[in-house]
Amino acid sequence: EVQLVQSGAEVKKPGESLKISCKGSGYSFTSDWIAWVRQMPGKGLEWMGIIYLGDSDTRYSPSFRGQVTMSADKSINTAYLQWSSLKASDTAMYYCARRFCSGGSCYLGSYDIWGQGTVVSVSS
């Protein structure tokens, strides 16, 4: 089964650093784009950015550029999202999602495989 498995819930204090992961299984993701999506408590989805696992080419939403860093290790089919200094406002569920491709075409803004989500709680 093709799936994305995310790392477990995190409880952190403001100012701490954090790196969460998203590991693909079921086939090789090295030619895939993986997006990160935030959902703050009681709110909608927000697209944070996307990374190409093949060469770590990255695109950030203007709202998140400079706030987080996306990286990837294609040798282990894993994408990462990291913060150098967390804020309470980073408290949210974070999803990774694979860009949808079918029949040789890939579709902008469409994501067919989602991770189960990682809850990040930041509080003093």
Partner 1 sequence: QSALTQPRSVSGSPGQSVTISCTGTSSDIGDYNYVSWYQHHPGKAPKLIIYDVTQRPSGVPDRFSGSKSGNTASLSISGLQAEDEADYFCCSYAGHNTFVIFGGGTKLTVL
Chain residues binding partner 1 by CB under 8 A are 35, 37, 43-47, 49-50, 59, 61-62, 95, 97, 100, 102, 107-112, 114-117
Largest separation between any pair of C-alpha atoms in the chain? 49
Rounded to whole angstroms, the Cα distance separating 59 from 62 reads 9
d(CA 57, CA 52): 5
Q: Which is nearer to partner 1, 13 or 43 (CB)?
A: 43
Q: CB-wise, 42 or 75, nearer to partner 1?
A: 42
Q: For residue 38, which phi and psi values (nearest 5 degrees)?
A: -105, 140
Least separation in angstroms between residue 85's CB and partner 1 is 25
Identify which of residues 35 and 86 has a Cβ nearer to partner 1 in the complex: 35
* Nearest distance in Å: CB 2, partner 1: 13
We find the least distance from the C-beta atom of residue 117 to partner 1, in angstroms, to be 7
Cβ 112 to partner 1 shortest distance, Å: 5
Which is nearer to partner 1, 24 or 49 (by Cβ)?
Answer: 49
Other CB atoms within 10 A of residue 104 CB:
5
Q: What is the DSSP string of 23-65?
A: EEESS--TT-EEEEEEE-TT--EEEEEEEETTT--EEE-TTTB
